[in-house]
Structure 1
Amino acid sequence: MKKALALVMSSALTFSLLTACGNKTEQNASESGGKVKIEFFHYKPEARGTFDKLIEKFEKENPNIDVVNANPPDAATVLKTRAAKRDMPDIVGVGADTTFAELAKAGMFEDVTKAPELNNIQPSYIQMVKDVSGLEQVYAIPYAANADAVIYNKAIFKELGLSVPKTWDEFIAAAEKIKAAGKTPFYFTFKDAWTTLPAYNALAANTQGETFFQDLNQGKTSFEKGYKEATEKFVELLKYGHKDQFGKGYADGNVAFAKGESAMYLQGIWAIPEIKKANPNIELGVFPYPVTNNPEQTKLVSGVDLLFAISKTSKHPKEAKKFIDFLLKEENAKAYMAEQNAFSAIKGLTQEDPTLEGLKESFAKGALVDFPDHYIPPSINLANLLQQLTHDQDVEKFLKTMDAEWEKVKERK
């Protein structure tokens, strides 16, 4: 970890120094005016407006505290750069992923294992935070969860007499029927490499086994062994796309799907607000990816999309905690859920949007599994490798490359 931080520091030293100076200037100015200024740093540009409203409400209730809503482009890189200089924001809002794990292991966050706030958080999401960090202690409060889901056009399904598929065979049969009717089953957006991830995450999570990454770290398995089924099924889905699927990006896909140009969209629930923005009248439904032929084994890929961690070096931990407690209040958490189409990590809070009805059973049963790519370090560019796979469809080459890249990561540790 020290090596990783040193590399980040050397590559972005100038940026860090400028940022640090700016933060100190702001802090001194605010404190001299009798107010405490805390920085809330997060990686969700789509939620900036939501947080602006919540911050305004918080500041009215707490006039002695100013909250800075910091959401820079490429937030993960900026955060690592600042960590290298020990110039951390007061509050960090990221996902339960490798960026969080690296910073937690480096001792950047306060230990909240015994925090009373965790009593109101669903245990499965607390466990995901522990699993991704590999630590027994808890260093963040899970707040919101998202999910991979197949989004479908209800009107097209009704027109073709299709029901929601529960098994892999039914899923492929539905795609075949849609294709035979002269319509596009799936709208792919491979111009943006990351859009390969939702489908692949769902396929891998439901076929890799529960201890895959633990076994991988111990040399007991490999991607070639554990990810073959997922990769073959991913390639099979490519047969049901459209022309120019390599020339279309995420924004194109949202609009095209909103216009009815495909029956299904292999994305996540985060795409729904954008689709509805393009066509407010569209009738949408969602269902978990049916990866195997045993519906009882189907798990919805859902991970901690947003967690809150307090920096160990924060000069205002009490005020930071006060803001987090404010965000955790039911009315404020519900406001976030409604605007962001997110599921809450807080016990007892359910998503009210009828579009998401098809996922509620999975949440109620606890049939959930984390995003596999949360356990793959950024140095392995899974999205780019999958993008290449969509071109050459060479399963063996992809799996061998993944294993080779994983070995490089192990050697650097």
Structure 2
Amino acid sequence: MSKKRTIKKFSVLLSCVTLCGLLLAGCGGGTSESGKVSSSNSAGGSGEASQEKVNLSLLIDSGQDTVNTAKALVEAFEAKYPNITIDTETRPGGSEGDNFVKTRLATEDMNDIFIYNSGSLLQALNPEKNLLDLTNEPFQANVIDSFKPTVSFNQKIYGAPVGSTMAGGWLYNKKVYAKLGLSVPKTWEELKANNDKIKAAGITPIIGTFKDAWSSQMIVLADYYNVQAQVPNFAADYTANKAKFASTPAALRSFQKLADTVGYYNKDFLAATYDSGLKMLAEGKGAQYPMVSFAIPTIIQNNPELIDDIGFFAQPGDQPDQNGATVWMPFAAYVYKNTEHAEEAKKFVNFIASIEGVEAISKVSKPSGPYAIKGAALPSDTPQVVKDMLPYFDEGKTAPALEFLSPVKGPNLEQITVEVGAGKRNAADAAELYDKDVEKQAQQLGLEGW
């Protein structure tokens, strides 16, 4: 590294933890004094490493769950490799944290390892210049295939998953389903039929919480598995301005599905909040809630006695044999390209992406979905709603959400989806409006073809 800094120990940093926005957390930085080391371990996971003391630095975001996860990983790793010490530093979350990471890289003052977003935000870090190529690391054999594109650039893989995935689809109340004799739908028409039966029984079929406008996007975003199943190259063509929502029938279908939900929401859906929606679902006052599984810990916290009443199913497509889940991927661990201790840093990343690493994480962080590591078992106390997601992963029927495959996402999507869900805009107009919305952002990013 070009600069040396003394890192405060993790116990000091823990007291400085601040809250950060959900899903906006990135990674935080700092470096540390390290001695010279010679190592014959060129694979980052095989061979005999030097027993000379090595000090690595790890950059993480300040979110409590990330802090707990990092502490557990570091303690387990240091117990296994006592000659390697890892000092951890936190950074802010959200856009401030993004700028923090970019500044560290631009000034060539980055930590040996850092945990940051997977997906489109990675592209802004200039991976080929700043990150170590991890394509041939042993841990890659452990990682589920659907994660790898989210940490890849120009056919090279730069990251390892940290923590569990999250699935986007429909949370539903199993007691309501059982009472009405309903089956989990595998096609959109089956879902519409369920909605009619639920409404006839005097129960809210679909919970809407459009006061928190971001939640209105879920049906459109969770439909991406179905889009990719029909148009495998949509993400690449969309990024290159060769495909549009309005002119691609499979993508337009996402807005059409949202339009189909008009009339099935709770009466106060425009004023209802995310928290009130979760309460409705847990209490069975609403039967279904389109949502990402990051909601599960909140239900466990607020209604622990009712969590067993909640189930999950992927957003249905139009063919039962194509039913699969759209997945929000976990953060990733990256190695700074100019680290002076590449082999030791890779050894830590290999540990993170191992069964042993996942077991360390599971002791301090409840999963919101299956892990991105093959063979990693969910803790025994994992609620059934999370286990409901396993078949999609086991059968390879998952796809990353579009935002993990393309940097193009218009800022006004949630306003557009509120209008569609409220019956104030039709699907075709919404898709055209959204295509215009993303154009400005793509131009700001300097993407080719825009």
The answer to whether TM tops 0.5 is yes
* Structure 1 residue 394, shift from structure 2 partner: 4.0
> Which residue of the partner structure matches residue 288 of structure 1?
314
Q: Give the 3 Å change call, closer, same or farther, for CA 71–266 of structure 1 in structure 2.
A: farther
Query: Aligned partners of 1:177, 1:383: CA distance in 2, in Å?
Result: 29
* Structure 1 residue 206, shift from structure 2 partner: 0.7
**Is the contact made by 2:312 and 2:385 (CA closer than 8 Å) also made in structure 1?**
yes
Query: Aligned partners of 1:113, 1:306: CA distance in 2, in Å?
Result: 17
Residue 368 (structure 1) aligned to one of 373, 379, 398: 398
Residue ranges of structure 1 left out of the alignment (5+ in a row): 1-21
TM-score relative to the length of structure 1: 0.81
Q: Give the 3 Å change call, closer, same or farther, for CA 367–205 of structure 1 in structure 2.
A: closer
Q: Is 1:386 aligned with 2:417?
A: yes
1:366 aligns to what SS in structure 2?
Answer: coil
Q: Which amino acid aligns with 1:271?
A: A
1:277 aligns to what SS in structure 2?
Answer: helix
> Which residue of the partner structure matches residue 293 of structure 2?
269
Superposed, 1:12-411 pairs within 5 Å as 27=32, 36-42=55-61, 45-61=64-80, 62=82, 65-68=85-88, 70=90, 72-74=92-94, 75-105=97-127, 107-130=129-152, 133=153, 135-143=154-162, 144-207=164-227, 209-226=231-248, 227-282=251-306, 283-292=309-318, 294-337=319-362, 339-351=366-378, 353=382, 354-377=384-407, 380-381=410-411, 382-387=413-418, 389-391=420-422, 392-411=424-443
- Per-residue displacement from partner, 1:106-151 (whole Å, max 9, x unpaired)? 6221111111221222333224433xx4x11111123443211311
Aligned length: 384
Query: Aligned partners of 1:81, 1:242: CA distance in 2, in Å?
Result: 46
RMSD: 3.0
**Is the contact made by 2:367 and 2:378 (CA closer than 8 Å) also made in structure 1?**
no
TM-score relative to the length of structure 2: 0.75
Q: Structure 1 vs Structure 2: percent identity of aligned residues?
A: 27
Q: Which amino acid aligns with 1:307?
A: A
Query: Aligned partners of 1:377, 1:215: CA distance in 2, in Å?
Result: 12
1:107 aligns to what SS in structure 2?
Answer: helix
**Is the contact made by 2:369 and 2:389 (CA closer than 8 Å) also made in structure 1?**
no
* Structure 1 residue 379, shift from structure 2 partner: 6.5
* Structure 1 residue 335, shift from structure 2 partner: 4.4
**Is the contact made by 2:261 and 2:421 (CA closer than 8 Å) also made in structure 1?**
no
* Structure 1 residue 233, shift from structure 2 partner: 0.8
1:150 aligns to what SS in structure 2?
Answer: strand
Query: Aligned partners of 1:251, 1:189: CA distance in 2, in Å?
Result: 9
Residue ranges of structure 2 left out of the alignment (5+ in a row): 1-27, 36-52
Q: Which amino acid aligns with 1:272?
A: I
Query: Aligned partners of 1:344, 1:94: CA distance in 2, in Å?
Result: 17
Query: Aligned partners of 1:243, 1:198: CA distance in 2, in Å?
Result: 19
